Amino acid sequence: MKHHGRRHRLYLYVLVFAFLISPITAGAALYKWVDDKGVFHMSDTPPDPATAEKYTIEKSESDESEPAPVEEAKEAKSARHEVVVYVTPTCPYCRQAKEFLSQKGVFYAEKDVSADPAARDEMVALTGRDAVPVIVIDGEPIVGFNGQKIEEKLGFGRK
Q: How far is CA 28 from CA 36, 56, 110, 130, in A?
A: 25, 14, 14, 27
Q: Is the pLDDT of residue 30 over 70?
A: no
Q: Which CATH superfamily groups domain 79-159? A: Glutaredoxin (3.40.30.10)
Q: How many other β-carbons are positioned within 10 Å of the β-carbon of residue 73?
A: 21
Closest to 87 (Cα-Cα) out of 48, 122, 139:
122
Q: Quick one: pLDDT at residue 67?
A: 45
CA angle 84, 77, 68 (to 5 degrees): 70
Instruction: Enumerate the domain spans of the chain.
Output: 1-71, 79-159
Q: What is the pTM of this model?
A: 0.53
- Band the pLDDT of 41: cuts 50, 70, 90: low
Per-residue pLDDT tens for 84-132?
Answer: 999 999 999 999 999 999 888 888 899 999 999 999 999 999 999 999 9
Q: Is the pLDDT of residue 76 over 50?
A: no
